[in-house]
Structure 1
Amino acid sequence: MGRSLLISQVTDFNAHALLSMENLIYIITVPLSTSIILANLVIILGISCNRQLHNTPNYFFLSLLVADLCTGVALPFIPLMGLNRELSFASCLVVHIFPNFLFLAFLSNLVMVHYERYICIVDPLHYNTLWMHRNFSLALLIVWTPPLLFASLPAFGWNNWSGPDWNNSCESTQKLPPLSNCSANLTSCCSYKRVFPNAFIYLEVYGLVLPAILFIAGMTGRVLWITRGQMKDICRLHRSVERGNQASDQEQRLNLRYTRCVVAVSLTFLACWVPYLIYMHVSIAFLIIDTKGRSITNIVLSCTGIGSMAVVPMVLGLANKQYTQPAFKLLRKFRDRRIRAFEPAPGGDSEAKITWKKKEKAEDS
């Protein structure tokens, strides 16, 4: 009787703890996911509606937006990968492999976009002859296929489903019920440790993710350095033409614009990349010390870290007025029509009608 009561109490406690963790994940990720999805739809609409933007660089950026949109959809499910749940083998593989594939595809597209823009600045003369422009379909295949193949490795046998390592996360004894929320039938206990071996996690973090982030940071720093040198050359030529030693207003504006650019890039890196880097190393630390559960700190770091990194394409897209112009026009048109609904329509005066129609055509154009 006492043992049955103990089992019931521990089971209820584990179920309540799991529900609390899931609610915390949804509270943090759902607003982030909604913002990422809406912002990407706005930018995708802007590129699709403007024919002048239908070129190869924007197609690469469009692929990044699609990957970011998918990451926004999968964002609430990525932190859930750290919770132990009762799932079958096939379902457990799907809920772990698919979000991981979307994340790796997003990172691969982000590297490709930064590389394409980096070559545009570093070597503009040979920019149009790049293999990415000549074989656009091959470039898309490269940024989407390798992430899918790597993320699918656990489905081809590289997993711990039948190995001993899962005992650390879903263990049970004869005296006590399971320490996690999983049932006594250990074959139904789905844990990321059963799907991803430690070697797989280390390879993904230090062989793919971290080098990609460092590669993006290196290209960004190189672009800023080249921009600084070109700005100095412009200022030097301007002084030689003006024959003056004092800095002109135009030079001061250039320096101010460059300073703003550096500050914007630095703040973007601090706000978007640093939280993910912290989360990544904290997760590795939890993996090394082999914790039995998922702490609230780790959940908050995972939600904010992955969400902040998914904001990077939004920052790049919303900073370009060409991408957001159709959305702003649509909002302005909707606002003006709502204002007109409360205004009296022009009467019988023909000139007033003509003026009203001209105003509508000007706003539509």
Structure 2
Amino acid sequence: MMDHNSSYALLSKEQLIYTITIPLSTSIILANLAIIWGISCNRELHNTPNYFFLSLLVADMCTGVALPFIPLMGLNRELSLNSCLVAHVFPNFLFLAFLFNLVMVHYERYICIADPLRYNNLWMHRNFPLALFVVWTPPLLYASLPAFGWNNWTGPDWNSCCENAELLLPPSQCSVNGSACCSYRRVFPNAFIYLEVYGIVLPAILTIAGMTGHVLFITRGQLKDICRLHRSLGRGGQASDQEQRLNLRYTRCVVAVSLTFLACWVPYLIYMHISTAFLISDTKWNSTTAIVMSCTGIGSMAVVPLVLGLANRQYTEPAYKLFQKLRDRWRRARESEDTAL
């Protein structure tokens, strides 16, 4: 009876994960494909900055594919050693590659605004293959460390892992050989998790936030210079309509950036710190809450490149024209059917 109830509990948790992640994953994949198609169709966009953004879109699309599997890491399942390593290492690699690509894109655009004279001489522009190597290879190497031996698979007292798991396994299946209780604790040692969270993920997010904040600060200073010049030419002390429009546009930009950070980054930061705190204290927390926070946190972070891409009309124009053509054909078909009736 206990095994049946535990199996049912695990199945319900997996269904909850798929219910949340499948629609979000599908939307992320389709949106990325639309933006990639838009960049590919416009020859004017075939340049190094957009190639970096294409790499980010590919990484984001891969993250969307892996999104349903990332929350599954929090469930204890019956898997062999190789299957357990693949189920944990590969999604982690895609997530880290996405994060590295995101930092690279923000850095490239940050230099374009903060130091435009040095922009065209950036090392990433002179050697694009090296830049791709930097954003894809280190995540692969770090994520693969558990496969090269940095894991807890042969740790002591792993029978308790099966006894306390959502899926209770017979003691004979809790051995190291064959099927075993696959848990993220067996794949990722605590030191590996701490290093990834506080040595890679959190510094990357803070770097992105710092560059974005500095860009807004620079933009604000440039806006003040433009308004000051406009007033000196107009010989008036009052703000003109054009100045008010510029200030309003800047305010909208600040609000959009702030809302994007709150909606896309804060959920993941909350989940990351809470899960790490429970890991340090070695206590269990409500698995349903963990699933919801994991799905929404990682999914919201994967939306960041889509916000950057959908805000550019050049990226979305081909998809928009295709949508208009399909809509016009559908309307003409409906009108012809109504006329025939």
**TM-score of the aligned structures, taking structure 1 as reference length:** 0.88
C-alpha change, 1:157 and 1:165, in structure 2 (3 Å) is farther
Please, which runs of 5 or more residues in structure 1 have no aligned partner?
1-8, 173-177, 345-365
Q: Verify: 1:98 aligned to 2:90, yes or no.
A: yes
Partner residue of 1:82 out of 67, 74, 98: 74
C-alpha change, 1:230 and 1:165, in structure 2 (3 Å) is farther
Shift of 1:293: 6.9
1:31-69 per-position Cα deviation (integer Å, ceiling 9, x unaligned): 110110111011001001110000000000000000000
Q: Verify: 1:202 aligned to 2:194, yes or no.
A: yes
Q: Verify: 1:183 aligned to 2:170, yes or no.
A: yes
The residue number in structure 2 matching 1:215 is 207
| Distance (whole Å) between structure 2 residues aligned to residue 226 and residue 167 of structure 1 | 58
- Does the 8 Å CA contact 1:107/1:212 hold for their aligned counterparts? yes
Higher mean C-alpha deviation, range 274-283 or range 288-297 = 288-297
Q: Verify: 1:314 aligned to 2:306, yes or no.
A: yes
Q: What code does the residue aligned with 1:279 have?
A: Y
Shift of 1:290: 1.8
Shift of 1:305: 0.3
The residue number in structure 1 matching 2:226 is 234
SS at 1:159 equivalent: coil
Give the RMSD, CA atoms, in angstroms: 1.5
SS at 1:106 equivalent: helix
| Distance (whole Å) between structure 2 residues aligned to residue 183 and residue 48 of structure 1 | 54
**TM-score of the aligned structures, taking structure 2 as reference length:** 0.94
Task: Please give the residue correspondences for 1:324-363 in structure 2 after superposition, counting only pairs within 5 Å.
Answer: 324-341=316-333
C-alpha change, 1:55 and 1:166, in structure 2 (3 Å) is farther
SS at 2:265 equivalent: helix
Please, which runs of 5 or more residues in structure 2 have no aligned partner?
337-341
Q: What code does the residue aligned with 1:201 have?
A: I
1:14-40 per-position Cα deviation (integer Å, ceiling 9, x unaligned): 101101111111111111101101110
| Distance (whole Å) between structure 2 residues aligned to residue 179 and residue 72 of structure 1 | 26
Q: Verify: 1:66 aligned to 2:58, yes or no.
A: yes
Q: What code does the residue aligned with 1:219 have?
A: M
- Does the 8 Å CA contact 2:75/2:166 hold for their aligned counterparts? no
| Distance (whole Å) between structure 2 residues aligned to residue 229 and residue 293 of structure 1 | 47
The residue number in structure 2 matching 1:352 is none
Percent identity between matched residues is: 79
The residue number in structure 2 matching 1:304 is 296
The residue number in structure 2 matching 1:243 is 235
- Does the 8 Å CA contact 1:168/1:290 hold for their aligned counterparts? no
The residue number in structure 2 matching 1:271 is 263
Q: What code does the residue aligned with 1:335 have?
A: R
1:179-224 per-position Cα deviation (integer Å, ceiling 9, x unaligned): 7433322131100000000000000000000000000000000000
1:230-285 per-position Cα deviation (integer Å, ceiling 9, x unaligned): 00000000000000000000000000000000000000000000000000011112
Aligned length: 331
SS at 1:170 equivalent: helix
Runs of 4+ in structure 1 deviating by more than 6 angstroms, as ranges, are none
Q: Which has the larger radius of gyration?
A: 1
SS at 2:154 equivalent: coil
- Does the 8 Å CA contact 1:183/1:189 hold for their aligned counterparts? no
The residue number in structure 2 matching 1:118 is 110
- Does the 8 Å CA contact 2:104/2:135 hold for their aligned counterparts? yes
